[in-house]
């Protein structure tokens, strides 16, 4: 999920801001070596029905050429529409132009009214599982899927794939990893096949940076509640770069800064942008969302339960037309998302071993009022940890909170940097936190930890191996992890948006603008 979601987030932000095996613990025995099925969050490439192999001639997604190039090609038209709306107060003019530029690019990817693929679009089928009987690795059995699809459809395909893996390896069970959006598929598989159908096919499950209850910063796109956070913009520019995403998201923000400059809006500020967004919203939502990913059941699975009903009311206003799609997304929300904490506990009691691995201290793209929540740049910490309490980004937990925590002798799960309280998690003993590791990064040492978890003869906990304590920090330059030892100096974001800093960013980007336009994150 992670890259495409950030790409889509950055896309909308761009158009809106056109305005102003490891060493095992000494006494730990090992279990039978089991195959590992890895359900990643990254979108597979999507092709037309003519493609029988990965062939760029038939590629529909990622977009080719880059949508950023299209926006740049139509910049003069967009600017003229903006100026017209700004002078007349009729913001439908600008909203219509944004829609006319973007919607045609996504037309081949739009699902039908029932949430099913049109035009034979598909991913290249998952290869037949390799025959192997031992020394299983994380990359052996990667499950590829079209993440636009209903999670129940993908869970059925995953069930078929797991059956093939079991047959190819002779194993009785597999280990599962669900990463980011991949968790929606894993959660549905565990709900439908392991719990309801009583299939005893999974030994251990690792949930890695997983969206258990949607992704809050996506809610606004479906509800029309877009709001650029004034203070967090500066913090994001300073601390939001995600090296695992090849810098493309940061490059996009730099391009936005350049667009600010071209429109002469650097001195106007974020408030003007939010005012214009509010005026355009009735004309732009929900039709732009429906033109991009509003018909994708897989994206609806990223809407949090708290925003879900409003998202349906705003985006799917014609309930008769979208009855089939609504039936699909309701089923996931009701049967999987709302019940998964209880489902997971039932499965745990029945013998499923679990591990939840989270990330924090990377700010979200500042598009909503909650963009100061602790996150890994894409998924909020609270949802991926099943309940951790955390200070806002750039801050520590308050003295009052810490005092209550310590008076209750509940500080055994407190991060040394005083940012995260894990004792409020559903599984504080099975939940790990990686600091300063952006969503797209894959630390090799964490992969080693995954292998150790899978080889453990019993439920692995935060106390099993001192090499992997509950709180570790990641160094993006060395690719190493180390224990979190104490509070950071901290960053003061109380003074608001620093236009001088922003202007420096603009000046820097001018010399690189041609390269940046070529690597805009919507490809």
Can you tell me which residue has the tokens 């679009």? Answer: 121
Task: Say which residue the tokens 């997983």 belong to.
Answer: 210
- Cα dihedral sign, 431-433-439-442: negative
pLDDT band at 347 (very low <50, low <70, confident <90, very high): very high
Which contacts (CB < 8 Å, 24+ apart) does range 57-66 have? 60/108, 60/109, 60/121, 61/4, 61/109, 62/4, 62/7, 62/522, 62/523, 63/105, 63/106, 63/522, 63/523, 64/523, 66/518, 66/519, 66/520, 66/522, 66/523
Has residue 303 got a pLDDT over 90? yes
Mean pLDDT in residue range 135-164: 95
At residue 47, the 3 state secondary structure works out as strand
- The residue written with tokens 């939010």 in the block is 274
Q: In which band, very low, low, confident or very high, does the pLDDT at 286 lie, cut at 50, 70 and 90?
A: confident
Place 215 in a pLDDT band, splitting at 50, 70 and 90. confident
Report the chain's mean pLDDT, rounded to a whole number.
81
Ranges assigned E (strand) in 171-238: 174-179, 202-208
Q: Residues of the chain with pLDDT > 70: what percent?
A: 78
Percentage of the chain exceeding pLDDT 90: 54
The backbone region for 493, taken as left when phi is positive above 0, alpha when psi lies in -120 to 50, beta otherwise, is alpha
Counts for the chain of helices (H) and strands (E), in that order: 20, 12
Reading the block at residue 523, the tokens are 């490809």
Residue recorded with tokens 């029905």: 49
Q: Which residues pair with 141 in a beta bridge?
A: 37
389: which residues sit within 8 A by CB, 6+ positions away? 382, 397, 401, 420, 421, 424
Note the pLDDT of residue 228. Answer: 66
Q: Please say whether the beta carbons of 1 and 43 come within 8 A.
A: yes
3-state secondary structure of 356: strand
Q: Which of 126-135, 196-205, 482-491 has the highest mean pLDDT?
A: 196-205
Residue range 352-411, pLDDT digits in tens: 999 999 999 988 877 766 778 899 988 999 999 999 999 998 899 999 999 999 999 999
Residue 510 confidence (pLDDT): 36
pLDDT digits (tens, 9 = 90+) for 35-65: 999 999 876 788 887 888 888 888 888 877 7
**3-19: pLDDT as tens digits:** 555 554 555 455 444 43
Q: Lowest mean pLDDT: which of 224-238, 342-356, 469-483?
A: 224-238
Quick one: tokens of 278?
Answer: 């509010």
**DSSP labels, 27-46:** T--B-----EEEE-SSPPPE
Distance of CA 480 to the CA centre of its chain: 23
What average pLDDT does range 332-353 have in this prediction? 97
pLDDT digits (tens, 9 = 90+) for 459-492: 999 999 999 999 999 998 898 999 999 887 544 4
When pLDDT is cut at 50, 70 and 90, the band that residue 259 belongs to is low
Reported as a single tens digit per residue, the pLDDT across 405-460 is 999 999 999 999 999 999 999 999 999 999 999 888 888 999 999 999 999 989 99
Give the CA count within 13 Å in the CB-facing half-sphere of 253.
23
In Å, what is the CA distance from 489 to each residue of 136, 234, 397, 492? 43, 18, 14, 10
User: Rounded distance, CA 430 to CA 86, Å?
Assistant: 54
């Amino acid at each position: 999920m992670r890259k495409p979601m950030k790409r889509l987030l950055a896309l909308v932000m761009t158009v809106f801001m056109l305005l102003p095996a490891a060493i095992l613990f000494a006494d730990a025995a090992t279990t039978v070596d089991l195959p590992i099925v890895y359900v990643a969050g990254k979108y597979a490439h999507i092709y037309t029905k003519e493609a029988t192999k990965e062939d760029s001639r038939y590629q529909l997604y990622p977009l080719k050429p880059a949508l950023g190039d299209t926006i740049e090609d139509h910049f003069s038209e967009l600017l003229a529409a903006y100026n017209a709306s700004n002078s007349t107060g009729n913001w439908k003019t600008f909203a219509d132009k944004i829609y006319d530029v973007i919607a045609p690019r996504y037309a081949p990817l739009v699902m039908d009214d029932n949430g099913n693929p049109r035009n034979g679009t598909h991913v290249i089928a998952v290869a037949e599982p390799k025959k192997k009987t031992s020394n299983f690795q994380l990359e052996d059995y990667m499950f590829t899927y079209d993440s636009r699809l209903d999670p129940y459809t993908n869970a059925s395909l995953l069930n078929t794939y797991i059956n093939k893996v079991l047959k190819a390896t002779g194993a009785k069970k597999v280990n599962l990893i669900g990463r980011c959006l991949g968790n929606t598929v894993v959660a549905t598989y565990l709900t439908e096949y392991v719990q309801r159908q009583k299939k005893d096919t999974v030994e251990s499950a690792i949930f890695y940076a997983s969206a258990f209850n949607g992704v809050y910063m996506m809610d606004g796109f479906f509800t029309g509640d877009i709001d650029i956070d004034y203070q967090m913009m500066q913090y994001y520019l300073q601390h939001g770069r995600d090296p695992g995403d090849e810098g493309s998201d940061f490059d996009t923000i730099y391009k936005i800064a350049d667009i600010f400059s071209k429109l002469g809006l650097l001195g106007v500020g974020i408030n003007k942008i939010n005012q214009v967004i509010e005026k355009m919203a009735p004309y732009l939502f929900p039709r732009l969302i429906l033109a991009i990913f509003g018909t994708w059941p897989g994206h609806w699975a990223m809407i949090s339960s708290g925003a879900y009903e409003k998202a349906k009311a705003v985006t799917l206003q014609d309930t008769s037309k979208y009855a089939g799609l609504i039936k699909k997304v309701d089923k996931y929300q009701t049967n999987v998302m709302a019940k998964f904490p209880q489902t997971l506990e039932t499965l745990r009691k029945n013998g499923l071993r679990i591990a939840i691995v989270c990330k924090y201290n990377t700010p979200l793209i500042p598009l909503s009022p909650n963009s100061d929540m602790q996150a890994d740049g894409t998924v909020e910490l609270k949802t991926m940890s099943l309940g951790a309490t955390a200070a806002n980004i750039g801050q520590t937990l308050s003295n009052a909170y810490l005092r209550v925590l310590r008076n209750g002798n509940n500080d055994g799960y407190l991060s040394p940097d005083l940012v995260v309280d894990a004792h409020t998690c559903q599984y504080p003993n099975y939940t790990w936190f990686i600091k300063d590791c952006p969503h797209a990064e894959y630390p090799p040492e964490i992969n080693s930890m995954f292998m150790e978890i899978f080889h453990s003869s019993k439920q692995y906990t935060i106390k099993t191996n001192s090499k992997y304590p509950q709180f570790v920090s990641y160094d993006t330059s060395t690719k190493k992890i180390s224990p979190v030892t104490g509070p950071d100096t901290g960053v003061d974001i109380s003074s608001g948006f620093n236009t001088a800093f922003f202007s420096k960013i603009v000046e820097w980007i001018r010399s690189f603008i041609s390269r940046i336009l070529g690597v805009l994150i919507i490809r």
